[in-house]
Chain A
Amino acid sequence: MSEFDKEVRRLFPSTRFEEANKGEVVVKADDTEIPALAQRLKEQRFSLMLLFAMEDFNGANGITLWYVFEKEGFEEILVIQAAMKESMESIAAIFPPAYLYEREIMDGFGVAFARAFDQRRLFLHEAYPEGFHPLLRSFRNMHIKAKKAISLSEEYPFKEVKGHGVYQIPVGPVHAGIIPPGHFRFSVIGETIFNLEIRHFWKHRGIEKLAEGMAPEEGLLLAQGICGDEAIANALAYCMAIEKICAIHVPSRAEHIRALFAEMERVYSLLGDIAGMVVDVAYPLGASPFFILREEMLRWNEALSGSRFLKGAMKIGGMAHDVQPAALSELSRYLGSFYSRFTEGINGILSSSMVVDRFETTGVVKKELVLPLHLSGPIARASGIHADVRVQHPYGLYQQIAPSNKVTEEGDVLARFRVKAATIKDSVGIIKRIIASLPSGKMCAEYRLHDGHAFSLVESSRGQNIHFISLGNGKIERYKVRTASFCNWNAIEHAVLGNIVPDFPLINKSMNLSYEGNDL
């Protein structure tokens, strides 16, 4: 029995443990027990990773809620299943991210959470008709009649600071630039931000619903389309979940190439973040080296995988194609010059007093927020918490190669800049090591599908992505994805407080969260 098992058994002396996949500890609980359990888990510093619902799980009638927790220092995750009766008591007051998950479930399944402090709609905006709950099994994909007009009383109530001299700035969802839609409601006095509420979910695609009934191979295409610059991360998580269910052993060479592509994705994504931060303080000259390096990385992506954004590279059981050995050795040589040019670019930025002045003390994410909000990725690492799935829940090749992450305490834009820069350097190192130690062998395992369900975790460029897949009769019954952005968006609402409005875009860019990964 593992340490984690013991830890959990101490917490739940008499509860029923379920048969589960490796790395998952599954507990069945009654709906009435949930708030007390949540309270106990919070005291033991567990963190809520995911909460979602599934209809008719394992032949049971009705809705089963899945609460998924992790604890720092343990590889395994804790899954609590609770059958939902009439209604379930909200745990949003105990685990803050639950206020999003619960609203998501209310929209998707039409169920209620008792005593939830926030009962507003989440991904189904006011224009959707009443009684429309797309994730119910009974709902078939079809054309729906959107409301033509929304009365004043139906309008979404934002939390606003009121008082003398306070005014509201509504921004978006239509912006002056070409960026995805998001609505930001600021309450401001002068230029100082007193409150920010973010409203997202303007382009809901219904990916979870689309996945229902798909063959696993088909669902892979859906997974890699969730978010453009996390194509590898999400495709990898998807494949890992299927491989876990079907006990597929991925060949060693494929594991290496998977990690190689995951790191290349991280490098080009974070290069975009770094360049964007510099552009947002109006220093495009300093940003251009990073744009150039990013473009070069995209070309390497194309040379290795045939796709600039590494699409179509992944396959259940391994990789779709092998890579050219000649291209790999060239890439390895290129990375030498990449490293020095990148370091030069970073030093150039950090030696500009005007840029550092803009970055420093701007948009601080406090360390105390990381665990309660379940922040992950570079944002958490910049605020003093060493959150990285590759270290905490090692998968694939990362069981052998661990990244040496930089962790800073300040939590401001400058800290995120430094952490992201260090992550790029680290990833370049990993890529070089992979190329040097690439074994030969098969690219893909033979496999036979069977039914079951599993979770998988990956570290994308933005942090922790978690996927859940349930297969029944060889088809997907339920596919649930939560990317890092879903939780990390909450960090911005806290980070901007006390900052001035013109610094918001910089704070936003320093996190560079995904709109698509948030709104499936």
Chain B
Amino acid sequence: MSGFIAFAIINVVVVMALAPLYISLVKKMKAFLQGRKGPGLLQAYYSLWKLFKKEVVYSSNSSFIMRVAPYISIISALVAALFVPLLFIPDDYSGFGNIILLLYILAVGKFFMALGGLDAGSAFGGMGSSREMSISSMVEPVVIVLFAAIAFVFRSTNLFEILREASHGLGGYASLWLLLIPLVIVLLTETARIPIDNPETHLELTMVHEAMILEQSGRNLALLEIASAIKQLLLMGIIINLFMPMGFNLQVLFPAGILIAFGAFAIKGAFLAASIGVIESSVAKLRLFRLPNLFALSFFLSVVTIMMEVLL
């Protein structure tokens, strides 16, 4: 069990440390492509620090939901962080790593975020929550089928086992590459990015995720921002460790192996974050009612993968 505790501490610390960095990095990449300088790489940390120091303002219409939602969101994100090994896989992980459970732990956080949006009784919060939930209800079956496809490929529903298999090389899992596209679509959707949502907009009426947290302020807002950043990092972590496992789960002595794995992950993460920036820059936001087409593509590729696994 002590092995798992060491894993838990290291994994959570790495998640907390890197999550804001990749938020900044995506922004930096987008700015670079537009010919702007963009914010510094540490800007996300400064912003969080600033928010932590600010007071929290509650609407007089709000109930306890508004007060507990940020904590439930951050807790669900941190628990989810225990399910996605970033640097190495511990010897003992009994009870952790089920991908279906991971999905629904993340869903709990999102559910409370949406409730918080409704709680203050403002039009924007309600609008954001209703849009977020509409998109979620469309994307949830897609994500389930996608993860089922991954499970079919590796014959396991445990992320630790899946990633251990993947770290031996993907030579035998050609069909997995089909899932890269749905995974990226899900990553963009779950992190509220273009073409689904626009994280940088100041236009209340087009917002989805941002409208939902518009009523949040100070420390609570910071917690929600961290929770979103963690979610992004975890989804990135799954993609990285599935498709680019170099340096992951090295059988080298502690702490050298951990440091190498950390360095490798940070670099791969930077690469993926920059790629997200490129994707975001090269497309426009879809019309809200066209989103199902995008999800249908994701769904289709997952189903094809499953059929290949079952039939071939």
Contact = CB atoms under 8 A, between A and B. Distances in A.
Interface string A161-186: 00000011111000111100000000
Interface stretch (A237-245, A282-290, A460-468, A477-485): A282-290
Interface in A258-294: 278, 280-288, 292
B205 A285 contact: no
A286 B30 CA distance: 12
Contacts of B60: none
Interface in B255-289: 281-289
Interface stretch (A130-138, A218-226, A353-361): A353-361
B44 to A, nearest CB: 19
Nearest to B193: A282
B202 A354 contact: no
Interface residues of B, number: 30
Contacts of B34: 284-285, 287-288
Given A282-B198, A285-B34, A504 B285 contact: no
Nearest to A281: B284
Q: Select the residue from B205, B289, B290 with max chain A CB neighbours within 10 A.
A: B205
A139 to B, nearest CB: 38
Contacts, number: 81
Interface string B193-232: 0110010111111100000001000000000000000000
A358 B284 CA distance: 9
A352 B283 CA distance: 8
A504 B205 CA distance: 7
B35 interface: yes
Contact of B285 (A170, A281, A287, A288): A281
A70 B288 CA distance: 42
B205 A358 contact: no
A503 interface: yes
A182 B236 CA distance: 41
A129 interface: no
A435 B131 CA distance: 53
B242 interface: no
Given A288-B35, A501-B127, A357 B290 contact: yes
B283 A283 contact: yes
A199 to B, nearest CB: 16
Contacts of A504: 205
Contacts of B201: 282
A500 interface: yes
B296 interface: no
A168 B123 contact: yes
Given A169-B123, A169-B127, A286-B284, A176 B202 contact: yes
A288 B36 CA distance: 9
Contacts of B35: 288, 292
Nearest to B206: A502
A465 B123 CA distance: 36
Contacts of B30: 284-285
B33 A285 contact: yes
A504 B127 CA distance: 14
A358 B290 CA distance: 10
Interface of B: 30, 33-36, 123-124, 127, 131, 194-195, 198, 200-206, 214, 281-290
30 contacts: A167-B123, A168-B123, A169-B123, A169-B127, A169-B205, A171-B204, A175-B202, A176-B202, A176-B203, A176-B214, A177-B203, A191-B288, A278-B284, A280-B203, A281-B285, A282-B198, A282-B200, A282-B284, A284-B34, A284-B281, A285-B30, A285-B33, A292-B35, A354-B195, A354-B283, A355-B284, A358-B285, A358-B287, A501-B127, A504-B205
Given A176-B202, A191-B289, 9 more contacts: A171-B204, A176-B203, A177-B203, A285-B33, A288-B34, A357-B286, A358-B285, A358-B287, A502-B205
